[in-house]
A = this chain, B = another copy of it.
Amino acid sequence: MTRSATIRDVAKLAGVSTATVSRAIAEPALVSADTREAVLKAAAEINYTPNLLARNLRQQRTKSILVLVEDIANPFYPEIFHAMEEAAQQRGYTVLLGNTGHSNEREQGYWDLVRAKRADGVVLFTGQLPEGTDPKRLPPVVLMAERIAGATLPLVAIDNEEAAARATRHLVDLGHRRIAHISGPQHRVISRDRLAGWRRAMDEAGLPLTDDLLVPGEFTIPGGEAAMRQLMALPDRPTAVFAANDESAVGALRAAQRLGLDVPRDVSLVGFDDIALAALFDPALTTIRQPRPELGDAAMRLIIDRIEGKGTPTAPTILPAPLIERGSTAKRGTK
């Protein structure tokens, strides 16, 4: 590639100043029709594209948002990204995805990008802030799906505890009394919230919460499998299981079926998230649906508002998360 055309080249060719070129492109109204035309023609002729680095440096903003996730493979994300990209585009922003892959080094690298002004704000899926951050000096941030304990930052999410309670109550209503929970990693707030919801619903239903009903599932398919095998080996087997996410629920489903059990006849199963995978198996999973497009849209609006100084840093945005009834749950003792 030869050196690309600059604003000066266009100015020279059109016989105007660089200021005029800038205006003709960014604020056409400020320039006479003739001039505008001449400038645009010249620009097209030499294939001019404004250098965004220069523009951004001058304007002290980039009109781009960094979306930081821990693991891009998470099936929970795509619909959220899609909605975020739509919302961003509407307001003239670009979305950049940063994948930390559980590497602190990479996470730090992306934060530096923002601190170094290469993005105007961050939507944070990772559930954690960079270490040793002075909350005063944080760039504009919006938390997505998972709050951060102790931090008071704008958040867009569902009420995980309430949704988990609802999932559990659904099983209670179906007549189940021994309802187990396959939990997520306990260092994550989201797992603790869902666990708390299960606990609360069990309490409220007056059902005993014995230790054997709670097993860790790690939010993964293998984790769910192991958890389910453990549960099904219990002398007094639960007749229903609430898994903290769909992946562990799918694992649980596979495990049950391999043990020759029928879901939902022998054991009912509820997941959480409503990822695409949830509907793929037989039976399809009853689960809590996170309203992903709405979450993405709300988060993007919120971060842009904050960047542009609009709106107020209000209470968390909490979106409804309905229970989706499918084939994996049934009345206790029936098909």
A110 to chain B, nearest CB (A): 8
A116 CB contacts on chain B under 8 angstroms:
49-53
A56's partner among B1, B53, B101 (CB-CB below 8 A) is B53
With known contacts A1-B137, A49-B116, A52-B118, A221–B95 Cβ distance under 8 A:
no
| Residues of chain B within 8 A of A82, CB atoms compared | 99, 101
Would you give 26 A-B contacts (Cβ < 8 Å), ordered by A? A1-B137, A1-B138, A1-B139, A47-B134, A49-B112, A49-B116, A51-B116, A52-B117, A52-B118, A53-B62, A53-B117, A53-B118, A54-B57, A57-B57, A71-B78, A72-B72, A72-B78, A72-B81, A73-B75, A82-B101, A89-B103, A89-B105, A94-B110, A96-B96, A96-B98, A97-B99
Chain A positions near chain B (C-beta within 8 angstroms): 1, 4, 47, 49-54, 56-57, 62, 71-73, 75, 77-79, 81-82, 85, 89, 94-99, 101, 103, 105-106, 109-110, 112-113, 115-118, 134, 137-139, 221, 250, 254, 280
- Given A47-B137, A82-B101, A137-B1: A94 touches B109 (CB 8 Å cut-off): yes
- For residue A110, which residue of chain B has the nearest CB? B94
Which chain B positions have C-beta within 8 A of A221? 280
**A89, B118: Cβ atoms under 8 Å?**
no
CB of A263 to closest CB in B, whole Å? 14
Closest to A74 in B: B78
Chain B hits for A4, CB < 8 A: 115, 117
Q: Which chain B residues border A115 with CB–CB below 8 Å?
A: 4, 49
